[in-house]
């Protein structure tokens, strides 16, 4: 409903105050009409005071109503900007017509993702939210993947209090590419290995090998203290052995990155480097022997070079213990 006059607004307010149920988006649309049409004027000292009084009548706190109003504003802005994708104004439903599965939290996360994603990528996620094909847990996980891109004061836009990624900043641009690679791997599942339904598949990040108290006597050198960016545990069939894949995300093949790739064999049965194919500093000829290469482009994951599989990773148990200590493998 567009609430073209004060009578329509009054009727809807009375219905809600009398106890009729309304979705958050309908309440948000109504509050927008109250503010935009100046309905509150003459009825309260300010829109904020009117909103607070309204909340008291329907049993909702001021902060909750402001949240509804703010999220509705974010959605309306995204809907208005849909022309960037060539859609007309009717492609996305009006605020009050959103279905119940579109929650305030989902749209808040979408707005945050819009600070790091392109318009096209942002609206791809918006399509999933509106269509109900992405769960809030997946959205939260996606934001946790991209959030590090905005860490630090350098992520703040000039003249703005809203952090936004600066793609001209090499460090932030690389961080964004790394997040895109990780996000694509999470979405791809085991398909990058050519597997559809393995008996077991688990992707884990931030695993710290449990190397405390390890005696390295007799070994050529000590194992590196840090493991790969990503661990993939794969058991293809019930009778198959569990294979530990170590994946290092890289935007540059620097000496330290190459050394890290060579060190993956201490902890993993198979070692991989994952790259975003938009990165321009990758010379695949520098990738160590037997280290596989995973490429990501346009959100799709492709195996570019097959990895060899070792048989004597001396500390594979230490990475598994690290998983248990992290709680991922519990």
What whole-number distance in Å separates Cα of residue 29 and Cα of residue 47?
A: 15
* Pair of tokens at residue 134: 């992405």
DSSP code string of 108-133: HHHHHHTTTS-HHHHHHHHHHHHHT-
pLDDT confidence tier of residue 153, bands split at 50, 70 and 90: very low
- Give the pLDDT confidence score for residue 133 in this predicted structure: 95
With a cut of 90, say whether residue 44 has pLDDT above it: yes
Global pTM value? 0.83
Using one digit for the tens of pLDDT, what is the confidence trace for 253-267? 889 889 889 888 888
pLDDT confidence tier of residue 120, bands split at 50, 70 and 90: confident
Using one digit for the tens of pLDDT, what is the confidence trace for 296-321? 998 899 999 999 976 677 778 888 88
pLDDT confidence tier of residue 42, bands split at 50, 70 and 90: very high
* Pair of tokens at residue 325: 């200590």
The residue with tokens 């992290």 is: 326
With a cut of 60, say whether residue 37 has pLDDT above it: yes
101 backbone φψ class: left, alpha, beta (φ>0; ψ -120 to 50):
alpha
pLDDT confidence tier of residue 223, bands split at 50, 70 and 90: low
Nearest CA-CA partner of 221 in 255, 265, 258, 257: 265
For residues 90-106, average pLDDT: 94
With a cut of 80, say whether residue 207 has pLDDT above it: yes
- Give the pLDDT confidence score for residue 295 in this predicted structure: 94
Helices 62-80, 119-131: inter-axial angle, 10-degree rounding:
120
């Amino acid at each position: 409903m567009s609430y073209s006059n004060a009578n329509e607004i009054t009727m809807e307010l009375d219905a809600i105050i009398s106890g009729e149920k309304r979705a958050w988006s309908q309440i948000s649309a109504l509050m927008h009409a109250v503010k935009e049409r100046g309905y509150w004027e003459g009825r309260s000292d300010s829109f904020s005071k009117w909103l607070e009084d309204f909340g008291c009548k329907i049993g909702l706190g001021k902060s909750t109503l402001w949240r509804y109003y703010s999220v509705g504003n974010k959605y309306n802005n995204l809907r208005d900007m849909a022309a960037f994708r060539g859609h007309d104004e009717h492609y996305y439903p009006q605020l009050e017509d959103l279905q119940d599965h579109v929650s305030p939290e989902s749209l808040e996360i979408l707005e945050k993702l819009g600070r790091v994603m392109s318009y096209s990528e942002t609206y791809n996620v918006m399509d999933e939210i509106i269509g109900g094909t992405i769960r809030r847990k997946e959205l939260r996980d996606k934001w946790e993947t991209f959030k590090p891109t905005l860490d630090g004061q350098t992520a703040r836009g000039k003249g703005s209090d809203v952090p936004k990624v600066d793609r001209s900043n090499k460090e932030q641009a690389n961080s964004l590419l790394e997040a895109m690679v990780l996000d694509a791997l999470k979405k791809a599942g085991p398909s990058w290995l050519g597997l559809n339904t393995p008996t077991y598949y688990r992707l884990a990040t931030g695993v710290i090998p449990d190397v405390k108290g390890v005696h390295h006597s007799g070994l050529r050198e000590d194992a590196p203290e840090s493991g790969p960016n990503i661990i993939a545990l794969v058991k293809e069939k019930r009778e198959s052995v569990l294979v530990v894949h170590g994946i290092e995300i890289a935007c540059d093949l620097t000496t330290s990155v190459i050394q890290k790739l060579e060190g993956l064999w201490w902890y993993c049965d198979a070692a991989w480097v994952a790259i975003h194919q938009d990165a321009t500093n990758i010379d695949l000829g520098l990738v160590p022997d037997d280290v596989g290469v995973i490429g990501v482009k346009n959100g799709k994951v492709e195996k570019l070079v097959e990895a060899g599989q070792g048989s004597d990773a001396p500390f594979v148990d230490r990475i598994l213990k690290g998983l248990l200590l992290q709680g991922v493998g519990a």
